Structure 1
Amino acid sequence: MFGIDSIRHILQRVSVPGARIDYEFPEHLAKMDRWLDDKRFFTPFQDKYHQFWGRPSVPAETYLRMRALQQQYGLSDRELCDQVGDRLSWRRFCRIPLNKPVPHPSTLSKIRQRLDTNGSDHMAELNEHLVRKAAEEKIIKSRNKVRVDTTVVEANIHHPTDSGLIADTVRVVTRLAKKIQAVAGDTGTAIRDRTRSIKKRVLEARGLAECIEKVLRLGDINLIGNEAESKRWLDKYILPPDYAIN
């Protein structure tokens, strides 16, 4: 495998004046490179890679580092392979020698499928090791606390109102009375079902409440204590035509 000194020597001989060749790591990639040197990150791959038989595959370290770049920059498999092939710093980060080809996108897909067989999730295991290492290096602190999003979001619920509670009471009492009658048999007392009529009364009460609210919003009109004027305003501007005030 070519070292960084060998790469510098080659680039000096084939360099183009004015061209920029990025074989050095940016700061964030240098930190990722040091982190991924931890051998614990390769634990999820140990049982999936056979050392003594089969065609040699992409090394586990190379695959892991390519996946890290893919997650960091939000790339597809094809975009990732193109970038690694074009940028010497990324090739060096992925531990791919200059005399070796960059893995094909279909190869990455096959490795991913092989690692996730039998219901396993290699990315979840990698994340577990990542969190543990971050805790060891005091980057994150675990205090056995759970963060909960308590943002208040208005829900489409049935808000309790006086008229609504009365209607619910009528429905519940009627249902219980029918159950009692079914158990006790014919007692000579008829049970009248008021659920339909109470629904109509509730709608009327809600309509009247909305009308009163509209009246109260008319702040420049003094209707307090003037029954005739109040009725005129209700009949003319607020109440529906089929609603009569006794």
Structure 2
Amino acid sequence: MHDLESAESVAREIDRITQAAHPVHPFELALPPERLEPILAEYLAVTTALPYIRAGAVGLIAFDRMATGDEFEPSDDLTFAMTMMAAWHEIGGTRLVLECGTRGLPLILDTGEHFDSSLLRLDVSRLLGKDVQASFSPVTRRYLFRLHAGFADLDIIGRAAFLVSQHTHATRMLTALIARIRDAYGVSAGQLAYFNLHVDDPTHASRTETLLGMIPRAVPPSHADDFYQRYEAAYTLHTWWCESITTL
């Protein structure tokens, strides 16, 4: 029987599950330099779509509550808060407010300078020496549709599992991808815009703690085993996508 007593206990258990089920991430393996171009184009596609998918997912939950006449549950509010915090971070809001205070809010309209996708596009173009378009291949489209379904899951257990798995997987994926970029191009994260912001992110630890702290408040203790099983299944989806795009 697993527990959901605190953010710390959740962190320990998901780390154990992740390492047992996925001891090696696909991006942690050596990759030929020529494989990075399609990988980066697919990664750009996901980065571009992700904040839109998050926003659409919480909208579906709201429409369901309106259609059924059910009250919004406290767990709905919790997952909504975490979903919007992630989207706000992905469009540069967290960094702008941290660096500029309220004066940074109007700068959010400079989307070409602050959205994660805009910064990543600049990095990829620099690495490859040409303009690069996001590649929404069939496998990436399938992954994005499944992400949307997970974020919009009307069952709080599945929804929470997807939110946590996406965050923990993204951290590991990004770390491994930076290593492969360094191997292929001799460029460190500090020389790139998007990658540097995510490696040297002063809010990462607090955002992770907040996300994991949501779980004991949103998931009933009697559903701990179900939550961890769904977390593992969702994490497997993320690694499936990564493995799939290494062979495109």
| TM-score for both structures, normalised by structure 1 | 0.25
Larger-Rg structure: 1
Higher relative CO (Cα under 8 Å, sequence separation at least 6) belongs to 2
More helix by share: 2
